[in-house]
A and B are shown apart, each in its own frame.
Chain A
Amino acid sequence: MSTPIVEAKGLTRSFGKVQALSGLDLAAESGQVVAVLGPNGAGKTTFVRSVATLVRPDGGELRVAGIDALRRPEQVRRVIGLAGQYAAVEPAMTGRENVVMVARLYGQTRRQARANAAVVLDQLGLTEAADRPVSTYSGGMRRRLDLGASLVGAPRLLLLDEPTTGLDPRSRNELWDAIRSMVRAGTDVLLTTQYLDEADQLAQRVVIVDKGRVIADGTPGELKSRAGRDVVEIRVHRPEDLTVVAESVGRIGVEAPRVDAGTHRVTIPVAGGRAVIAEAIRALDALAVEVDDIGLRRPTLDEVFLTLTGSPIDAGEPESTDPSTESTTEPGEHFAQAA
């Protein structure tokens, strides 16, 4: 097997009393997107910053493309590109000037820097805006430019720390496209996210981090099957029907049903396949409540996280709207407007 692009063994790091990394182990193979998923404060940013040589771990081992990141950080910097939580670009300069500046700092000659900047700007769809000051760019354009700046050094490993936080859905999709295409072209990507669907959409490998260590690791599919149960999900029209539906239809489940009053949903973990859906529909028929939607699906990463940690992924983040509920690519059978 080839050298892992990132290999961490027993990484520890504390900031004062806060233990950000407490023995994190990870070996990421080349040729894929690895998503580090976890709530705020889980240690994922500290981990990425360690890989980017911006944080020095207190203990453990860390190799990036086979280079010892603790002993030879300056060599690691030659093979990585970093795009952080903020668009780290100079608003008073044009997009082209920003990319050329970073290219020069990667060691490229003026001529190389100009040629490479043109390639990057073209490929990220920024040629038209290239000679405008960045202060006139939209948030999505700034993130793409930031991505371009980190790519202009042709890094082997691209590090993205919450790349789409704060972006609107369209800009997010554009950025996802850019990330997918660079992986196809051979750049490895390690990204952190607190959005479950982002990990689901982009990554071939998902590493769930909680309290500074890896608690689960696998493909999105594997992680979902680790949470075990498929679920029947019912969306009722009137919220006052939630309790009665949970009580009577909940009997078909193998675990207690979960009720989400905000989205009018009852979620029931079930053991059977198609048969339970029919059973659920019969039970709903008897109740005569108005149902907007009913379906059988595999668990979301949100539910995986809940199963693994006992607490939802967005605990303590009142502003977080879980984008996984918007996902339209959820595998499983769906019977819309069934009742």
Chain B
Amino acid sequence: MTAVTFDAGRITPAARPAGAITAATTVAARSVRRFVRTPQLLVISTITGAMFLLIFRYVFGGAIETGPVQYVTFMVPGYIVTSVLFTGSNASSSVAQDLEEGFTDRLRSLPVSRTAVLAGRVVAESALLALGLTATLAIGFAVGFRPQGTGVEAIAAFGLVLTFGFAFMWLFVSVGLVAGNVQAAQGMSLLIFPLSFVSSAMVPVESMPGWLQPIAENQPITVMTNAVRSLALGDPALAGLSGTTAHYVTLSLVWAAGLVAVFAPLAVARFRKV
């Protein structure tokens, strides 16, 4: 063992504390490195995503009546919206893991803005989520999905999904911070199953029992799916919807704004709390 000697005199201290941008990018860089260097994360989530997509496309799809459009065209926009939940909820676990393993304590004991640290995390996780959604979309294309609207509408649809991803990320980070440990975070994440499936994402809401329809019709995943699907199909009527595209897009953006308005302050308060 080499003799250990430590001399603080050889360290050049910082002239001033780190700014918000430096703090945010430094923390974001860590999330990105962790993601890139843990290939199993990427592989497992891509495989899981592809598996469910293929099962719906080829197994359940034939039994689901979607009117004038093919099932794959109907389902892929909804599937990508639910992927926001399935992929994004991993952030809850990793935020909880940081709490459990003392990493968060280290960050909170440093002379940087805690809000900036958290914002850096959310932006990085949202960017990684965008990467995952792109992979899912590519698989959708491979199994026959083709947007039927204009190119602008298709781009707007994907932009909308990314917006939902950013909005939901604040919720997932809040869940991780409130849960405090990985197991509790994973337990809470089970709620994404009813949220995903009791919606218009995979099946038309009209096919559900009457008592369930009002719930399915008004929850955010349905609202967001309707907006993305209207853009992807070029016409809400093709998706069996009676409103205009503008209506569904506006409604979904209101939901996204609502999620940020509620969960961003909650996450920040929770992270700053001592």
Mark A residues whose CB is within 8 Å of B: 49, 52-56, 73-74, 77-78, 80-82, 84-90, 92-93, 97, 101-102, 104-109, 112, 115-116, 119-120, 123-125, 133, 144, 149-154, 159, 170, 174, 177-178, 181-182, 185-187
Contact = CB atoms under 8 A, between A and B. Distances in A.
B33 A73 contact: no
Interface string B96-129: 0000011101111111100000000000000000
The main secondary structure of chain B at its interface with chain A is loop
B4 A104 contact: no
A55 B274 CA distance: 5
A181 B17 contact: no
A77 B17 CA distance: 10
Contacts of A105: 18, 22-23, 26-27, 107, 110-112
A82 B38 contact: no
A49 B31 CA distance: 26
28 contacts: A53-B108, A55-B274, A74-B111, A81-B109, A84-B106, A90-B34, A92-B33, A101-B30, A104-B26, A105-B107, A105-B111, A108-B13, A120-B6, A120-B11, A123-B5, A124-B4, A125-B3, A151-B6, A151-B8, A153-B11, A154-B8, A154-B11, A170-B1, A178-B6, A181-B4, A181-B5, A185-B5, A185-B9
A80 B14 CA distance: 13
B4 A178 contact: yes
B29 interface: yes
Nearest to A123: B6
A81 to B, nearest CB: 8
Interface of B: 1-18, 22-23, 26-27, 29-30, 33-34, 37-38, 101-103, 105-112, 274
Given A105-B26, A124-B6, A54 B11 contact: no
Given A119-B11, A178-B6, A181-B6, A77 B1 contact: no
A206 to B, nearest CB: 22
B103 A88 contact: yes
A185 B26 CA distance: 30
Given A54-B105, A105-B111, A151-B6, 11 more contacts: A78-B17, A80-B109, A86-B101, A105-B18, A105-B107, A116-B11, A119-B11, A123-B6, A125-B3, A154-B11, A174-B4
B117 to A, nearest CB: 8
A85 B106 CA distance: 11
Contacts, number: 144
B274 A177 contact: no
Contacts of A85: 102
Contacts of B27: 105
Given A53-B109, A82-B105, A104 B18 contact: yes
B34 to A, nearest CB: 4
B12 A82 contact: no
Contacts of A78: 17, 111
Given A112-B14, A119-B11, A178-B6, A77 B102 contact: no
A104 B110 CA distance: 10
Given A86-B101, A105-B112, A177 B4 contact: yes
A115 B10 CA distance: 10
Given A56-B274, A119-B10, A154-B8, A86 B102 contact: yes
